[in-house]
């Protein structure tokens, strides 16, 4: 199969879909891997490494897209890339369609087969292709939160750990999944006073055991969550419903009652965000003010550490890319129920229930397409 890897064009997106090692793995299996020149530069992976690994380097992005039967990306295509869509193309990337009606409609009208990393789901509920980026975003959130808490960044001027005789920052993490747990690891390691909220009591028990009392856990309900948010210096939103829009758990009224200079970091922004006032921002302009608090809602947080993120992503996606390349998407999905759940759009039809519900569109069962 011909596999293409274009350069990411989203604002400050330095990741690339495959490392040179990933290219080598696929090329060894007899596939032709076309990589756009400079695609890995932002991840500190130069063209020479891709060439040595067996990639065919191409300068023109239109040619990269046109030659690929399978196009692997990191972020969802933006409007300038829609012209590359065609009926015989399989697209394998993060899509987050529940929060993006224009892209959903364009994928449907073009006939592209679109498989989303974030909805590939194991039988036990695990999200193997979302997990590595959730780990990265979770670990970044307290770091960017701590930076934004500085007075020079609009924050209230609080050191996360405090110093002897002063209080540490109060951090509320909403959602105890992969991103939330990783956020708690870093925030507690920085000396903050951390509480994780989740509706899953067994998960809270596991987190309590894991952190051995260094992090508090709380069952999530509107009253207790609201009180905690209002009293927080830093709130990290990390709630995820696979394939669907994130629930709005932090209201404008809660934010209005927070201390001026408090910071809110929304990891769930790709899925619409779990704060009422969330809207996507960029690394160039990452924050905005709401009632005196500061929102950080960068939609591609892991893009800030692309060397780590690209390697972690390739480790996770490569087995699935091998399967699609070896037998085509229909055969790969028929053999792997986890990958089948990742199919969002095919033959002009919505396949993902979460995407269909978000846009009030009919859903075609995946078995009808296989």
**What whole-number distance in Å separates Cα of residue 13 and Cα of residue 17?**
11
Angle at 150 between CA 189 and CA 255, to 5 degrees: 90
Q: Any catalytic annotation for residue 270?
A: yes
Q: Which two tokens stand for residue 363?
A: 């859903």
Tell me the C-alpha distance between 21 and 279, whole Å: 36
Alpha carbon distance 118, 182 (integer Å): 18
Catalytic residue among 25, 96, 193, 277: 96
Contact 2, 34 (CB under 8 A): yes
What is the distance between the terminal CA atoms of the chain, rounded to a whole angstrom? 19
- Other beta carbons within 10 angstroms of residue 73's beta carbon come to 25
Q: Which residues pair with 92 in a beta bridge?
A: 72, 115
Relative to beta strand 32-36, strand 113-116 is unpaired
**333 vs 265: CA distance, rounded Å:** 35
Cα atoms found within 13 Å of the Cα of residue 46, Cβ hemisphere only: 1
Beta bridge partners of 293: 290
Neighbours of 167 (CB within 10 A): 12
234-237 vs 170-174, strand pairing mode: parallel
Contact predicate 366/340, CB 8 Å: yes
198 is known as an active-site residue:
no
Both tokens of 209, joined, read 């055991």
**What whole-number distance in Å separates Cα of residue 122 and Cα of residue 160?**
36
Q: How far apart are CA 10 and CA 303, in angstroms?
A: 10
Q: Name the catalytic one among 25, 193, 266, 270.
A: 270
User: Are 184 and 173 contacting, i.e. CB atoms less than 8 angstroms apart?
Assistant: yes
Q: Which residues are catalytic?
A: 96, 270
């Amino acid at each position: 199969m011909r596999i293409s890897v274009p350069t990411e064009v989203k604002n400050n997106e330095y990741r690339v879909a495959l490392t040179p090692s990933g290219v080598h793995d696929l090329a060894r299996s007899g596939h032709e891997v076309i990589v756009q020149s400079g695609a890995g530069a932002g991840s500190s992976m130069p063209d020479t490494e891709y060439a040595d690994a067996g990639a065919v380097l191409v300068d023109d992005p239109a040619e990269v897209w046109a030659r690929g039967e399978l196009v692997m990306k990191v972020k969802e295509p933006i409007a300038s890339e829609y012209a590359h869509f065609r009926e015989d193309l399989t697209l394998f990337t993060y899509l987050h369609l529940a929060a993006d009606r224009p892209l959903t409609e364009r994928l449907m009208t073009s006939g592209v087969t679109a498989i989303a990393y974030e909805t590939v789901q194991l039988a036990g509920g695990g999200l193997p292709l979302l997990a590595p980026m959730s780990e990265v975003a979770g670990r970044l959130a307290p770091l960017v939160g701590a930076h934004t808490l500085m007075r020079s960044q609009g924050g209230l001027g609080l050191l996360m750990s405090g110093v002897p005789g002063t209080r540490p920052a109060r951090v509320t993490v909403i959602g105890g999944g992969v991103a939330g747990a990783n956020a708690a690891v870093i925030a507690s390691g920085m000396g903050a006073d951390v509480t994780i909220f989740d509706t899953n009591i067994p998960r809270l028990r596991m987190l309590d055991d894991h952190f051995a009392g260094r992090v508090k856990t709380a069952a999530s309900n509107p009253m207790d969550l609201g009180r905690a948010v209002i009293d927080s210096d830093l709130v990290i939103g990390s709630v995820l419903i696979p394939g669907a829009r994130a629930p709005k758990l932090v209201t404008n009224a809660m934010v209005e009652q927070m201390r001026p200079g408090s910071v809110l970091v929304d990891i769930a922004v790709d899925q619409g965000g779990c704060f009422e006032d969330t809207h996507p921002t960029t690394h160039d302009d990452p924050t905005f003010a709401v009632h005196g608090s500061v929102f950080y809602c960068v939609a591609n947080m892991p893009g800030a550490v692309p060397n780590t993120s690209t390697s972690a992503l390739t480790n996770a996606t490569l087995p699935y890319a091998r399967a699609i390349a070896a037998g085509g998407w229909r055969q790969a999905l028929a053999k792997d129920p986890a990958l089948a759940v990742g199919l969002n759009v095919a033959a002009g039809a919505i396949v993902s229930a979460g995407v269909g519900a978000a846009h009030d569109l009919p859903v075609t069962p995946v078995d009808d397409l296989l």
